[in-house]
Structure 1
Amino acid sequence: MTQIKRRVLGAVRGVLLRILPSPDIDLSRLDRIPESLGWPLRRDGFDPQPRLAEIREQEPVHHLTSMMGMSVWLVTGVDEGRTVLQDPSYSTDIRPYVGSKGAADGDIGGLGFTDPPDHTRLRRLITPEFTMRRLARMRPMVERIVEQQLDEIAAAGEVVDLVPTFGFPVPFLVICELLGLPDHDRQTFMELGTARFDVSQGGVGSLGAISESREFLKEATRRQRAEPGPGLIGQIIREHGDEINDYDLAGLADGVFNGGMETSASMLAMGTAVLLNDRKSWDRLRTEPELVDPVVEELLRYLSVVQVAFPRFAREDVMVGDKQVHKGDVVLVSIPGVNRDGAFGDRPEDFNPERESSRSHLAFGHGLHRCVGAELARMELRIAFPALSKRFPDMQLAVEDPADHGFRESSIVYGVESVPVRPGREARGGMPAAGVGFTRP
């Protein structure tokens, strides 16, 4: 089961369990998302469906569907989206509604699906690991991993797929270093990470992989209790060992892996494809790497790889725009929808690194549940794109039709299966020195 199915089905589960008192409902067994609920997740290449723009123009807060007598609302306006995402009158906590199996094995939860005070307690433990001071210490490691993958591209031949050589391994290796996973654990962790998004066995196979991933991380946490490692798990144990149990710490680690792995992989793969179609930006990243900030921010806005924010459940009647949302209704904020709002200037459907308003995008969310790893993601992208263009200035896409990338049909994290390229001439000279040519957020 893909991440979109887990999140949306979690939202649906919450809706039904508010209506039906039975604690035995397990909507993870559903093999499809209803068309009335799932259509906003399908896209046309890099772009959202035109229907999203039409709805935003008519009513930025739109009644999407009704399920079992409950309303599901879709928000596509940027102002309305910010209002919803920062409003504490909504809950994202679906743990009471996942049934006995979910409550027992923790297949749904983490910061995104947790309300204060649990959210406040857990986020306080992890936030210091993502400060600019601590992230600055990670920069040489990220540069080393990027350079390693550039070497792999150079050795791969005339046509190279950037997904397995660059898009996936860069964030995967960064996350492993961040968590402090030893080398002998990484192959197992990679296999579990891949299996949890495989729908070939339906929900049973995916949820089984999720449970295995949690158990794997709980075992890693237990080992580090006795001998804390150099990464995030060990750091939290050293500083807050008595304040967090193995289950919660494994959940935080699992959230870091899922939040930072697939999203960054999609951004690196699709972002490179966008840049290779915009030679002006590609060439300027090589010759003027100080311009990487606006390029990255515009890519984040333009691609909006996270397609929907965590579902919000209204705790009370509330007005959103000019619409009355009732207690128990579900509100979904479409990130591609809000990030293509006209508030971002002329032709928001175009990729334009000179767009001054790009920085105010909602690609990382907003408010209480804004992505805690946003600055790590930015750092990876700011290092990777200039390094790639500098090493391979003549790189070209090896496919003419964008559809050949194999865009995902329905996923909460949008992405591609492949980005075949011809690396072309290799320009030696290495990467920019740490801190040179890049500006901090």
Structure 2
Amino acid sequence: MTTLSAEREIEHLMTLHPKGFDLSLDRVTRLLERLGNPQDRLPPVIHIAGTNGKGSCAAFSRALLEAAGHLVHVHTSPHLVNWHERYRLAAEGGGKLVEDDVFAEAIARVAEANQGQKITVFEILTAVTFVLFSEHPAEAAIIEVGLGGRFDATNVVKRPAVSVIMPISMDHEAYLGDRVELIAAEKAGIMKRGCPVVIGAQESETALQVLIETAERLDCPTVVYGQDFLAFEENGRMVYQDEDGLMDLPLPRLPGRHQYANAAAAIAAVKAAGFEIGHHAAERAMTHVAWPARMQKLTQGKLVDLAPKGAEIWLDGGHNPGAGIVIAEALAEQEEKNPRPLVLISGMINTKDQTGYFSAFKGLARHVYTVPVSNSDAGVPNDELALRAEEAGLSAEPVSSVASALMLLRDSWDGPAPRILIGGSLYFAGAVLAENGTPPT
């Protein structure tokens, strides 16, 4: 793959600044002041935090707004294959990933404004988001939180059109706390006094209570999933309901029942942000939404060609126990519609609860191939990951690569064509898309 100019700029920054997170707003605030505070010159912002589902909510929000004819910027993280995926700039007919020369110039300008001060690369790249989004016209900006909320570098927008909190579960405990109420308090840090709040489906009553209490304390107009809005399946359709009534919609293009709640949160968020979404636009959004590496069906590519004939291949970057549960439920739904034996090909990083993730697939997966995550220093060795899968009650064996796992399956498989889930880490999912020759566009 050709090294792009922007990637060379980022690689240079990586040599100058510490890798990782340093949760504080002081450095990014100082840098943004030098840049003329571009974060204060954005179109209405939909700011999204949460442990799981925030990327899907961003994808649904973009689909809804674009279906209604609006120009929309989108910032998401992390990327899967190229850094450019984090920056989708508004364009007629649908947003486009930032062009390399535009991206590289913005990075260089922001790095120069920093004047060699102590900062993290993520903070520089967040400042790039605000520069790009303030200099290109749009009617809305969807901004996904990187980590946590309160001290995340994106949390410098003073008056978001809406703050959205998606499902919260245990993740990033080293940074955010080891109890769900502590994590909820960090995520709730994106709420701003008097600004609308949408609270997505929460499994934890404790987390929900923290979010509601924070919103009440800040006098935020608030809508809560299950109380003020919800979505459910009826007769093969998705019904969205809120105080304005019902919308009878197609099932979302993103598979899994968990996506109903994600879609509902996006509809509620877009409405709370002041946009009207008609029935026709909502229908189009459900059938056109796209979000790579989240229950993405792979139908072609170099890796797909190595699989057993007729195999069904899914890719998902979910990497914690909460994500494992919703992925397993989505695959169980597929099993009901079209029974096939399930095989996992998994790679994970060492900051995640690997056994907790695998536990969701007990009784569902026939076998697990564990592989190294080659593009992350934090990748769990494949033999160690196999032990974690066995601790969760699964049959597992380490292999050297996804290609090796697929060829092993192809050469030894006997019976109905399998259903294969490749996943366990967004880094891993990105590497798979790159190797398959199908990067996000």
TM-score, normalised relative to structure 1: 0.27
TM-score, normalised relative to structure 2: 0.27
Larger relative contact order, structure 1 or 2 (CA cutoff 8 Å, min sep 6): 1
More strand by share: 2
More helix by share: 1
